[in-house]
Amino acid sequence: MIVCVTPNPTMDRTYVIPGYGDGGVFRSSTHHVGAGGKGINVARAVSGLGGLGLCAGFLAGHTGQHITEMLTAEGIRQEWTYLENGETRTCIVMADTERQITTVVNETGPEALPEDWARLQHDLLKASAGSEFICFGGSLPPGAPAALFKDLLCVLREAGKIVWVDSSGAGLAAALDLGGCGIKVNQAEIGAILNLTVTTPQAAAEAATQLSERIQAPVVVTMGAAGAVLSMQGEVWRATPPSIQIVSDVGSGDSFFAGLLVGFLRGHPPVKALRQAVAAGAANALSMGGGRFTWDQFEAMMNGTQVETLR
C-alpha cells in the first residue's frame, strides 16, 4: 500500500473549452467535477495501476465532506485529518483542446494550526502501519511553517518509511533541507533550486545527479513531452513517451508519480519504474480528470515509451 498525502486538497472542476482565451463568453463542450489535489490523483492512479492507495491529509467544511463521499464512491481508501474551521478549496481548470493549453485557477485553502499538524502526524503513523511508502503531493496549507512539515517528514523517516515529496515553495524547501526523501520536480523547479538553466535532457540528468548527491536520495525530473530523467544510486536513466493528442494534462505529473512508486513498491528496477511512470503520465493526458485512465491506455503508452541509460 502507498499512503498518498495531500496537505491542501481541492475539488476540481474541469471544463473543456475549444478556443478558450482571454476575455469573452465561452461554453464548455464537456465538464468534469471530481476530488483532486496531487495526493488524491496519485492514489487514484495507483488504483488504476492495480495497486492500493490510501488518501490522507487535511479536509475541511462541506467541500471536504463532498470529497470524502466522492472518493468513497470511487472505492478509494481514505484516512483524513479534519480541520475544525475553513473550507477545502476548489480548483477551476479550463482545457483548450484546439491549442492544447490548460489554464488552472487555484483557491488558497484553509489554514492548518500547529495542533492540526500534530494530529496529522498521529493519523499518518497509524494509517501507514502496514505500509512502507508515503508520498506527499502539492502545496502546504496557507501559513504553514516549513519547520512543521520538516518535523513530520523526519518523524516518518525515523519510523522506517520510504518518503517521497512532490511539492513546491516551503514544502519542497523543507524536504531538501532535511534530505533523505525522494524528490519529484520539473525542469524549471530543479533549475531554480540549483541556479541552473535546464532546457535539455542532458542538463536535466546532470542537475538530477547533483541534487541527488546533495540530499542522498533519488531525484526524478519531469520534462513534459520530452519525458523524464531519474537519478538514483549514482545512475541516471531517461524515458520518453510516444507522441499523443492531449485532452488534458491535469494530473499527468501525479499519474507519473503513481507509476514510479508502484514500480518501486513491486521491486522493479529503476529503469522499469521510470518507464512505467512516463507511460502512466501520458495515459492520463488522454482523458479528463487527474489519475483517470484505462489499463488499455496505459499499456499502449508502455509499448510506445522509450528508455535509455544516460549514466
Query: Along the 311 residues of the chain, how does pLDDT read in single tens digits?
Result: 999 999 999 998 988 888 888 777 888 888 888 898 999 999 999 999 999 999 999 999 999 999 999 999 999 999 999 999 999 999 998 888 888 888 889 899 999 999 999 999 999 999 999 899 999 999 999 988 899 999 999 999 999 999 999 999 999 999 999 999 999 999 999 999 999 999 999 999 999 999 999 999 999 999 999 999 999 999 999 999 999 998 888 899 999 999 999 999 999 999 999 999 999 999 999 987 789 999 999 999 999 999 999 98
pLDDT at residue 241, rounded to an integer? 97
Distance separating alpha carbons of residues 112 and 120, to the nearest angstrom: 10
pLDDT at residue 123, rounded to an integer? 98
Distance separating alpha carbons of residues 245 and 271, to the nearest angstrom: 25
Return the exposure string of 179-204: e unless at least 16 CB atoms fall within 10 Å of the residue's CB, then b. eebbbbbbbebbbebeeeebeebebb
pLDDT at residue 29, rounded to an integer? 82
pLDDT at residue 40, rounded to an integer? 97
pTM of this prediction?
Answer: 0.92
Q: Which CATH architecture has domain 2-309?
A: 3-Layer(aba) Sandwich (3.40)
